[in-house]
Amino acid sequence: MLPDLPAFLLVAAAAAVACRFAGYVAMRWLPPSHRLDAALRATPLAVMAGITAMALAVGGMTEALALTLAGVVALVTRNDVGAAVAGVAFGAVLRAFGL
């Protein structure tokens, strides 16, 4: 374990909690609008795009194949959670076979 790992985890957890509470606080003062609604709907997609882009940049063929499968499953089934589970499972199988 890295010596800085507990500090990193603590900072990441604090940032996650702060972001969660900031949403509730902001919604108290921001008037509802179509632009705000669109921004709130786009946030999960932006987060997932950032995560997958980082995985593709750092990873190799295994990550690319797993993300491709997850994308195909998401398009075919329209089930994001199922697609994520399928991608992770496929990546684990590929890693188990040494790819």
Q: Residue 64 is part of which domain span?
A: 33-99
**In terms of C-beta distances under 8 Å and separation of at least 24 residues, what long-range contacts does 85-93 make, across chains too?**
90/65, 90/66, 91/62, 91/63, 91/65, 91/66
Do 67 and 46 lie in one domain? The reply is yes
Terminal-residue alpha carbon distance, the chain: 25
Do 45 and 69 lie in one domain? The reply is yes
CB within 8 Å of 94: residues ≥ 6 apart: 62, 65, 66
pLDDT for res 1: 54
Query: pTM for the full model?
Result: 0.57
- Choose from 28-42, 49-63, 82-96 the range with maximum mean pLDDT: 82-96
Q: How many domains does the chain have?
A: 2
pLDDT for res 89: 95
